Chain A
Amino acid sequence: MNYKPDEATLVSFLYGELSGEELRQVEEYLQKNPDERKRLEEWSFTRSTLSSLADKEVIAPPIFLEGSPRTTPFWKESYFRLPLGIAASFLFMIVTAKIMGLSLRYSGNELRIGFGATESKQEVPAVTREQVGEMINQSLQQNNHVLQASWNEDRTMLQKSIQKNLASASGKIDKLVKTASSANQEQVKRFVNQMQNENLKLMKDYMQLSATGQKEYIESLLVDFSKYLQEQRKQDIQLFQAKVNSVESNTNQFKQETEQILTSLIANTGTTNQRRN
């Protein structure tokens, strides 16, 4: 007997919705199949975990319910109201047009809408292409004439103005030349002398100023140099003194060493003589 419950049967078993023979068969199957039993135990655990999600407390809000649902009359239904509205609009337009004496006329690509008695408009004969061309040519010729006349007038006015300006300018230049030539040589000499004197004075002032500045600079330079020399001399003397001291101490040391050596030599010679004797 190879009974194997399907998904639906297992789920029904899990939720206790099996009974009779089927329940017995599933129980037997689970006893023989520990893997399936384990799977069902896992589902049971999942179910018990799901039960941790508790219900939320909520208060029912007031919901206002109408009495018995009303039946709407057919004229208030949308399928009736739309065509009725369109028909009413047309009727209104027709009546308004009648009252206002509306007339519509369409002739020769032209639509005319009028109210009351309409007047028939006189047809104006159209202008031919040749006439239009002639009119354009005439207009162009007239324009050319006007432009030509305007140019001629401007040119003559411009020439006149130039001549007038030249005449006035040459007069002024002649006048200036005359004034310049009227000045004599004495005035020129005096001006030149005055210029020379002023230049000389300027040069003197400049030289004096420059000499004073240079003198001050050289003085300060000499002072600085003498200070430098003094300082250098002092340092040299100190250095020299230090060297002399060093030589002196060296000499003294050398002297002492020499004395010691001589003493030891003498002492050594004395002892050798004694041994010989």
Chain B
Amino acid sequence: MMHAEHLIAQAREGDTAAQGKLVQAWYKRIYNFTFKFFYDHDMAMEVSQKTFIAMHRNLGALNDTARFKSWLYTIAVNCCREELRKKKNSRAVSLHDFRPGEAEESYRWEVSAERNENPENLLRQSELADLLQTCLMQLSEEQREVVIMKEYEGLKFREIAEALQISENTVKSRMYYGLEALKHMLERKRITKETIGYEL
């Protein structure tokens, strides 16, 4: 932790090597956050890059290095919202919006994970991941931000509140309704303990 704070302090002072290390350390987290938010690789890459460029420009304004994590997520969320606004205003439809049919999703097989893994399990996990991502996309923008930050990024409610610049109670309320909505969506899709319990 001390090491991380030292790195952030160095980066704040304009050390490009330290800034590079920060990017390397946080890129995966920010990419995965934006990917789950958009469910689009290209958008996630673009927003991640914008986030780190904004981080570089504004790092000097960060007073408390201990709040770097929530500060970085604030930038990421703002970039996500900006992209979402642009996407809503633009009439163009991305080819990624047309989800391929199951038979066409051959790329799943191309992403070879472990050779020893059971292909049937791999397919099930991949289908479940797709389904969960679809459920996340059905949440409202505000609920989605909170759910991803809490469930996948492991932020505390206080950190989420700081990142989104809202009260902790509002964060918890959004989480509550987000979880309820997800629960109902999973029930509608017959994802219960009995049906997939053995896979988890």
Contact = CB atoms under 8 A, between A and B. Distances in A.
A168 B49 CA distance: 106
A121 interface: no
Which secondary structure dominates where chain B touches chain A? helix
Q: Which of B60, B169, B199 has the most CB of A within 10 A?
A: B169
Contacts of A50: 132, 147, 151-152, 182
Contacts, number: 95
A15 B169 CA distance: 14
B157 A15 contact: yes
Contacts of A42: 183
Given A15-B157, A52-B200, A69 B35 contact: no
A58 B151 CA distance: 19
Contacts of A46: 179, 182-183, 186
Nearest to A66: B56
Contact of A11 (B31, B45, B125, B176): B176
* Chain B interface residue bracket vs A: 35 or more
A48 to B, nearest CB: 6
A65 B20 contact: yes
Interface in A1-45: 7-8, 10-12, 14-15, 17, 42-43, 45
B52 A45 contact: no
A178 to B, nearest CB: 97
A58 B49 contact: no
A15 B57 CA distance: 35
B45 A61 contact: yes
A49 B14 contact: no
Contacts of B72: none
Interface string A207-243: 0000000000000000000000000000000000000
A79 B169 CA distance: 43
A53 B49 contact: no
A11 B36 CA distance: 22
Given A8-B172, A46-B182, A49-B200, A61 B49 contact: yes
Contacts of B136: 53
Q: Which of B16, B52, B172, B196 has the most CB of A within 10 A?
A: B172
Nearest to A69: B57
B186 A7 contact: no
A60 B14 contact: no
B39 to A, nearest CB: 11
Contacts of A15: 150, 157
B31 A7 contact: no
Interface of B: 14, 16, 19-20, 23-24, 27-28, 31-32, 35-36, 45, 49, 52-53, 56-57, 60, 125, 128-129, 132-133, 136, 147, 150-152, 156-157, 168-169, 172-173, 175-176, 179, 182-183, 186, 191-193, 196, 199-200
11 contacts: A8-B176, A17-B157, A47-B151, A53-B36, A53-B136, A56-B35, A58-B32, A60-B28, A63-B20, A63-B56, A69-B60
